[in-house]
Amino acid sequence: MYDDGFKNEKIKLHEHIKEIEVILAKKLKDKGVKQEIKLDSYIISETALKDVKSIFHTNSLDEYAKHHIVFNEEKEKYIGKYWTIN
């Protein structure tokens, strides 16, 4: 599945999407639109942490969070942390 660990292109989407955010923001600004745009990406893993740690060589939830990976088994912890309604 993700044999290349944190280097996998799906894992790195949270980085690449920021490049798209900048491009879209510039296009909006050039058209006179004063709307702020924010794009982000997270992977919510249905696979348990214990089953993926051999692929990513870590069991640190902070390390996974740094790469925008959260685990469904931890949903009570990440829902309020990452998603708020404004």
User: Is the pLDDT confidence value at 12 over 90?
Assistant: yes
pLDDT on residue 4: 85
Q: Where in the sequence is the domain holding 11, given as residue range(s)?
A: 5-82
User: Is the pLDDT higher at 72 or at 31?
Assistant: 31
Q: How many domains does the chain have?
A: 1
User: Is the pLDDT confidence value at 1 over 60?
Assistant: no
Determine which helix (DSSP H) or strand (DSSP E) holds 29, and give its type and residue range: helix 13-30
pLDDT on residue 30: 94
Say if residue 8 is exposed, middle or buried (CB neighbours under 10 Å; 0-12, 13-18, 19+): middle
85 pLDDT band, cuts 50/70/90, is: very low
User: Is the pLDDT higher at 5 or at 75?
Assistant: 5
83 pLDDT band, cuts 50/70/90, is: low
What's at 25, amino acid-wise?
A: A
What is the spatial distance between Cα 81 and Cα 13, in angstroms, rounded to a whole number?
A: 20
User: Is the pLDDT confidence value at 63 over 90?
Assistant: yes
